[in-house]
Amino acid sequence: MRHKLTLLLLLVFASGLFAQNEILTYEKTGEKILVGICTEKDFTDNQQFANWFLTGYKNYEPKFLNYKFDKEKISGFKIKIVLGTWCPDSRREVPRFIKILDSLSFPKENLQIICVDRNKHALHGEASGLRIIRVPTFIFYKDEKEVGRIVEHPKGDSLEDDLETILLSVK
C-alpha cells in the first residue's frame, strides 16, 4: 500500500513537471499569454482568451462557394497551427480557421495547436525547427511532409482560398 501511494504521488508530481501549456506574464506589459501545446478548450476555459476566441469563432461564416476540392480530402492532412495569444493577427485568423476546419469535419486528432511567446518559443520547444517568423502560421502536412503554409494572413481573398490552393496542389 505504501509503495502504491508513493508511486501515485510521484506520478502526480511528474505530470506537473511536463505540463502541456502554461499561462505566462509578459513582463513589459503584464499581459497574460498562453504558451505550449493547446486545445480549443484552453482558449474557451480561460476568460481572457475566450473573449477573442469565441467572438471570432461565432461571428465568422466560412465561405465555400465555388470550391473545387473534395471536402473529404482534407481529412488526410495533418495541420499545425502556431499562434501567439498576444498577436492581433492570431486572434483574428485562428478562430476563423478552426471554424473552417469544423465546417469541413476535419478530424481534431490531426490538428496540433502550438502557442508561442513573443520570441516565437513554445513551452518545451514544440515550435523549434518549424521556421516560424510570423504568427499565426498554419502548416499543412501530407504523408509527414510539409505541403504548404499560410503565414500571418491569407495570400488570396480568404483563408478558404488559400486552403483550396494548398489542397489542390497535393496529388
pLDDT tens digits, 77-131: 999 999 999 999 999 999 999 999 999 999 999 999 999 999 999 999 999 999 9
* Distance of alpha carbon 32 from alpha carbon 24, whole angstroms: 6
The three cell numbers locating residue 107:
478530424
> To the nearest whole number, what is the mean pLDDT of the chain?
89
* 8 Å CB contact between 25 and 101: no
Residues 154-170, mean pLDDT to the nearest whole number: 93
Q: pTM of the full predicted structure? A: 0.87
What the chain holds in terms of domains, given with CATH numbers, is: 2-169 (3.40.30.10)
HEC letters along 47-114 = HHHHHHHHHHHHHCCCCCCCCCCCHHHHHHCEEEEEECCCCHHHHHHHHHHHHHHHHCCCCHHHEEEE
Which is more confidently placed, 57 or 28?
Answer: 57
For the cut 60, the answer to whether the pLDDT of residue 59 exceeds it is: yes
